[in-house]
Chain A
Amino acid sequence: MVNRRNAVRILLAAALVLLGVYLYTSGKQHQMFVDNMGVEIDGRTYAPEASVRVAFDGGEPLELASGDRDVTQVVGPSHSVKVEVLNESGDVVKTLEGEFRWVSAKKGMFSIPAFLGGAPSPMIDSPGAE
């Protein structure tokens, strides 16, 4: 029987399911690798910086030298990032802020050179994926 009462119930159930989906996607914590190595995407190569400092979603910054790889946790599907390129004495030479979206656990590595070089997405294949 599709009367008003049942319709309300179905709508309510659907709303709760949607809320669940929203909570799942927006609250899911991902393990993300952060990489400062040379990388090739779609035929373009991006060279690493000598030393960078990177912070995700306004959190604790990580410092990576050329060839370094680190791991961090991010929550949810879209993120802000702030990359500061440092010179030898540790001063900030260049700052770049931007947004990116989480793709999948398979593409779970944030490539700093790709981000600084303006690649369409900074996310590249995770080291464990292959």
Chain B
Amino acid sequence: MNEKLKAFIEEAGWPRVIIGLFLLSLFVAAPFVRVRVDASISDTLVRFGMNGILVLAMVPMIQSGCGLNFGLPLGIIAGLLGAVTSIQLDLTGVLGFAAALGIAIPLAVLLGIAYGLLLNRVKGDEMMIATYVGFSSVAFMCMMWLLLPYTSPNMIWGYGGSGLRTTISVEGYWLHILSDFLSIQIGPYLYIPTGMFLFFGFMCFLMWAFLHTKTGTAMTAVGSNPEFARASGIDVNRMRVISVVLSTVLAAIGIIVYQQSFGFIQLYMGPFYMAFPAVAAILLGGASVHKASMVNVVIGTLLFQGILTMTPSVINSLLQTDMSEVIRIVVSNGMILYALTRKVQVKR
């Protein structure tokens, strides 16, 4: 028994075990500090649905050996442009949502190709460069949000008359368009956004199916052994670009799904740090810097979002202070750090 436990901890890695136990203890402690467990579960589920696709966006690049996509904001920007344009066109309901996706995806493909070509030139240093590509594109878009000629009164600053607001409500356009589809309400607190889950499940299925196509397996081969892949006639650079494009497109879709549930489009510095929770979540789910699966995505997102929902409510009622922000920073970056230092160690 003890041996088995040891083997399990060895397999999962101690940070995951600690974080898992931490989350478990939060759920156990919740009723004692008068935090409603059903409301917490509901929150966790909603956040799980919101963030799932953004986490899924990590998978293709990890599989193709491009590492963790810290450049996620690039895809998010494509999604933001799609969302904002759809509102500008005054499209509502399913049509508005589809239009946002329809505009965002081609943009994401274009940005993804450029980004992928860049990453092909910097093999081995992808992660650091991706981080700064993400940051600088966010900063660049900050200028663009001020300058682009959007005119919808729901989006521009009231007094200045030019430039988009920092947060734009999607209410009246496509708020909860996915979440409310076939949604289940149990009692006053427990709400299950079925539509969002179905969509997320569908995306995961597509990704899984893709990884089992010829292109998908070639991509994985590039990630696990580029020299071997080259020798067997796979165009390594092309595979890498495809993975980056996929990741960017998923990020664009992911942010739109996020917004329809959250209710707001966050512009300017909003997407700045969005890559980090997604990276941390997939690593928490058991992925490493060079291998990730759908199971990692689902488990990771559930665990990570569970911690994000539970810490504020439970710790706040326990200690009367809001430590959730600090815990989030320590957990997510600790997880990334663990993954970054682990791979080399295993190799040696």
Q: Do chains A and B touch in the complex (CB under 8 A)?
A: no
